[in-house]
Structure formats: C-alpha cells, structure tokens
Structure 1
Amino acid sequence: QRLFTNAKLDDGYVWLERTGRDATERVVSVNDGLVRMGPEDNGYLATREEYRDFHLSLEFRWGELKTPSKYVRNSGLLLHGHGPDGAAGGRWISSIECQLAQGCEGDFILIRGRDDQGKAIDGAFAAYVEVGSDKRPRWNPDAGKLTQYSGRQFWWNKHEVGFEELIDTRGKDDVASPLGEWTRVEAICAADRVTIKINGTTVNECVAASPAAGKIALQGEGYEVFFRNVEIRPLGAADRTPDQANR
C-alpha cells in the first residue's frame, strides 16, 4: 500500500507549528507521490490511520532551501504517533523518531508530549547499547543488557565519534547516500520491536516500544526535503524474529 500519493491527502493530514492542522501554507505539497516539506515552518505529514506490525519503506533526499543554520539538514520519520497533534512543544506528535539528519540517519529519539491537561503522554523503549569514548550510547546487539531510554538520543551503531553535525558533512562510516541522491529507509515494526535499515543496512533497533502502534509521520524541520515511494505492507516471515514468528 502506498501512502501520501495525491494532493487531496485522502490518507493523511498536515500539522504545522504556526498554523495547526491542515493549513499547509505552501510548506507541504504532494504531487503524484512526491512529498515536499519546505523550510518555512516545523511540522509533519501524518497518516490518518494507526498501524501495528508493519514494514515501512521510503526514499528521501534533501532539497536546496533551508533556514539559516550551520548545522546538518534535519528531518525524521515518526513512528507509533499517538495523542494530540503538536503535543510536543507545539511541533510534534508523541512518537518514536527515526532521525534522518545528516550523519545521524537511524538514531532513535523518544518524543513525549503533554495531553490537554498538561500530563506527560506515555511512551517508552529500550535498546542494547554500548557507551562509546564520547559517552554516547550506540546500538550494539551484542551488549549484555537492555538500557531504558531516559532522554539521551540512542545513536545508530556507527555514528562517528566526534561528528560535529555541520551542514552537508558526513561521518566516515555513513551508509546514507551522498547529498542530492535518494536514501532508502526501512522501519520494520514487529510487536514491540522497531528495526531501522538505511540503504539496506541494519543500523539500529529498539525493543519494548510502548505504545507499539500508532500513526506514521514525515517530519519537516527547517530544511527542504523530498520523500517518495512511501509504502507500507504487512510483516512477512523474514521480518519477524524466531520468537515473534511462533506467536
């Protein structure tokens, strides 16, 4: 099933920080399956439906327009979105973010907003991580124990030590495509596990995701970015771990 294929957005809607829901203000456009997020505002394009147990794939590339900043171009894929729109700082929906910023593709961030009564919206995940020489946690499936997310970004496994996150720079082990080319992203959500692949390489994984279902959203964060071939399908046998396959 393809998502976000036409300008009418039958299967989605837009949230922008300044103008709220469905007021695209020329920031977001969809033309024959090509999604453009402009730099004029922060926000996201979200599905109307909620999804559980799926394999999502998409491609993205950076445009030329941006806000004045010396730091890397920034965007994200939001998974398991739940609660009110804009609940996190007026910008985002509560979710698990797969970071798409340059050099950081595949990092995990837990976005927790607040409900209409000001109460923190539930959300959690854990991962097998190893703390590097820079004191930053990176995914390592061979780590001895799970670490609960507690506010510090869980970096993808080869996120470069000392990477300064300056615009249009890359880490030495980056698997994302060079600037101007399309990068393929996959998110495999099986039960409470989320696995991220960048250009076919598994770069990060979390478990004990709560909630384990929700909306899917494409994030705009001050840089022109394009998405295409946003597709979702049910899980196949190859997407499940042995314990999940036996459930």
Structure 2
Amino acid sequence: MRTALLLVLLAGLATAADAVKPTKKIKLFNGKDLTNFYTFLKDSHREDPKKVFTVANGMIHISGAEWGAITTEKEYRDYHLVMEWKWGQENLAPRVGKARDSGILLHGTGVDGAAGSGWLESIEYQMIEGGTGDMLMVKGAAKPKMTVEAITKEDKQLYWQQGAPRVTRDSGRVNWYGRDIKWTDTFGYRGPVDVEKPVGQWNRSEVIAEGGHLVYYLNGVKVNEGFDGDHTQGKLQVQSEAAEVFVRKIELLPVKGGGKK
C-alpha cells in the first residue's frame, strides 16, 4: 500500500515538473500545420476522416462536422493565452438553427474523451453566440472546482460581478457579466451589450492563468474571473461543436501577475 501511494505521489510530481511555464512567447499555432497539437474526436478519436481540422491560408479551419477538439501535446501552467478567431457561416446537425458554439478548454487533465464528446476534464472558456466568456466546469473522472464572485439573477443563474460574494462551484456555468438574461439558443443570437464581434469579424480571447486563478478577457474587456481552482495546469483544447470556426492565432505569453494583461 505504501509503495503504491509513493508511486502515485511521484507521478504527480513528475507531471507538475513537466508542465511548461512560458518564459517567452510560445507560438502554439505556427500558421502552417497542427504541429504542437493532436486531434481527438468523439467517434474517430485520433483519426480525422472527415477533415474536421484543416489548415489553409494561415488559419485553422474547424468544420464542426464531428464533435471533439485539437489538443496540445504538452501541458502548460502560469500563462497568458491569446487566441484570435471568428465564426464561419455553417452550423451543422445537431445544432442547425441554434447558436454557434465552441470553446477553449483550460487545464485539461485525465484520459482523452473522459468528459464526453472528445474533451478532457477541464475549465472552459465558452465560445457561444451571446455567451462568449462564460466559465464552465467540465466534468471528467472528477469535478473541477472554482470560486467566483457572482450574483444570482432572476433566472437563477450565476453572473460574474467583480466584488460580489464568493461562491464555489464544481459544476454548471458562471455567465460572463453582460450575458443577456433573455438569451435563447438561436442561430445568430446577439445580446444588447455583447462584447463579441459580429459574425465574420475577428475576436481576441485571452486568459490569464496563474495557478488556480483564471481571468477571462474578450476583445480587451475583462468578462469573467475565477479563484482557487483545483486545476492549476494541463493541456489546452479548442473545440469542434457543430459550428464552423476559423482560428489565426494561438500563443502563450509569460504572465505579468495579478491577472493583468
């Protein structure tokens, strides 16, 4: 029993040591191919027969034809993530007529696909029309925990509000501060105070990750924040979730501290 416990502890230490902390810019997407990533899809796993993920003209094209993600080969910690992306025109079954949907999964751990649909246990930076910047806890073998400053509105959902009482969650979603309380899962949805750019224009999503502290930005605006998360490092994933998405930049920068860009 003691030997087994020691091996588990040593494995955890090795994983922590192996996670990369950027000391200079790391260009995860090189503009040419998917070096630094592997594909994992719900049905075909590490094969991509439908060409869900392709690279052309300096961009990753995500067709949405199968649910899954591109996943970093390495684990990362304490970074400033920058991703530039825009929606395409297509939205495929089973989400025809529904809001375009994707996401960035942070601190991914465990077995590929353990969270379902090809995803890792992780914390999500949601990308969905009207809800980009929401924070989701993506369950795998365990439930990730995160503490947020948030208020509960009349729809009984949590909305991030800086300085509000703190609450800890291990499931569900924390909406970005300006998410329309009347949001509906509708193709092309726009809320009255959306920070996300209109379809076809480039968005800049940023995450400052310092241990269990995550700060979400969208187009330069701070939209969400979490504290004391129990996931502090891991792989990064960019989802395919029935919507067409284009990505032109994925890079990691050293953090400045305090969740500041």
TM-score, normalised to structure 2, is 0.85
Instruction: Specify the alignment match of 2:122 in structure 1.
Output: 95
SS in 1 for 2:146: strand
Match for 1:130: what amino acid? I
Q: Is the 8 A contact 2:183 2:191 kept in 1?
A: yes
Change (3 A) 1:89 1:158: same
Where in structure 2 are the equivalents of 1:217-228 lying within 5 Å?
217-228=237-248
Are 1:160 and 2:180 an aligned pair? yes
Corresponding residue to 2:148 among 127, 138, 158: 127
Corresponding residue to 1:36 among 55, 61, 64: 61
Could you tell me how far apart the structure 2 residues matched to 1:134 and 1:163 are? 11
Q: In angstroms, what is the RMSD of aligned CA positions? A: 1.8
Per-residue displacement from partner, 1:99-131 (whole Å, max 9, x unpaired)?
Answer: 000000000111111xxxxxx335211111100
Offset at residue 8 of structure 1 (A): 4.7
Are 1:209 and 2:193 an aligned pair? no
Are 1:197 and 2:217 an aligned pair? yes
Could you tell me how far apart the structure 2 residues matched to 1:101 and 1:184 are? 14
Offset at residue 152 of structure 1 (A): 2.5
Offset at residue 238 of structure 1 (A): 6.5
Offset at residue 22 of structure 1 (A): 4.0
Where in structure 2 are the equivalents of 1:55-134 lying within 5 Å?
55-68=80-93, 69-113=96-140, 120-134=141-155
> Among the aligned pairs, what percent are the same residue?
31
SS in 2 for 1:100: strand
Could you tell me how far apart the structure 2 residues matched to 1:80 and 1:24 are? 27
SS in 1 for 2:148: strand
Instruction: Specify the alignment match of 1:230 in structure 2.
Output: 250
User: Which structure 2 segments of 5+ residues have no match?
Assistant: 1-25
Could you tell me how far apart the structure 2 residues matched to 1:211 and 1:237 are? 18
Could you tell me how far apart the structure 2 residues matched to 1:163 and 1:189 are? 28
Are 1:19 and 2:44 an aligned pair? yes
Could you tell me how far apart the structure 1 residues matched to 2:106 and 2:66 are? 21
User: Which structure 1 segments of 5+ residues have no match?
Assistant: 114-119, 242-247
Offset at residue 7 of structure 1 (A): 5.2
TM-score, normalised to structure 1, is 0.89
